[in-house]
Amino acid sequence: MKVLGFTDSKTECECGKQGLKGVYVVETSEGEILNLGSSCVKKKWGLTQKQFTSKVKDGYNVNLSLANAEYEKSKSYISDNDNDKELELDSIRLRYNIEYKHLNRMYRAFYI
């Protein structure tokens, strides 16, 4: 099982529970994509809260690493135009589902 991310565009778990703040998009070992609330993810795979949080962070950190690598290869990375950099970072953020606050850290880190 791999947690691909969280989305608030869906508010219903596959179990039928509605009115959630969002669902986790999970890929099973068979490649099936499921939209599940956090309780259902933990229940289905027998995870504790700590294990679940670790799975979510692992998936997120993979995306953050990929986003960093993509930005470092972009023309915007070496550009002097801050507007170009901001547009590129926003595009990457959306593609990899990275939170803006982390993207800011990534952005600052590139200027050290």
The pLDDT of residue 80 is above 90: no
Q: Check pLDDT > 70 for residue 51.
A: yes
| Nearest residue to 79 via CA among 110, 35, 53, 34 | 110
Indicate the burial class of 101 (C-beta count within 10 angstroms; 0-12, 13-18, 19 or more).
exposed
Task: Name the residue ranges covered by the structural domains of the chain.
Answer: 1-47, 49-112
- Out of 31-45, 47-61, 67-81, pick the least confident: 67-81
Both tokens assigned to 59: 């998936």
What is the overall mean pLDDT for the chain?
Answer: 83
Alpha carbon distance 28, 35 (integer Å):
11
- Alpha-helical segments (H) within the chain: 38-45, 49-73, 75-78, 82-96, 100-109
Task: Name the pairing type of β-strands 23-27 and 33-36.
Answer: antiparallel
> Given a cut of 70, is residue 1 above it in pLDDT?
yes
Residue 26 pairs with which residues in a beta bridge? 3, 34
Q: How confident is the model at residue 50 (pLDDT cuts 50, 70, 90)?
A: very high
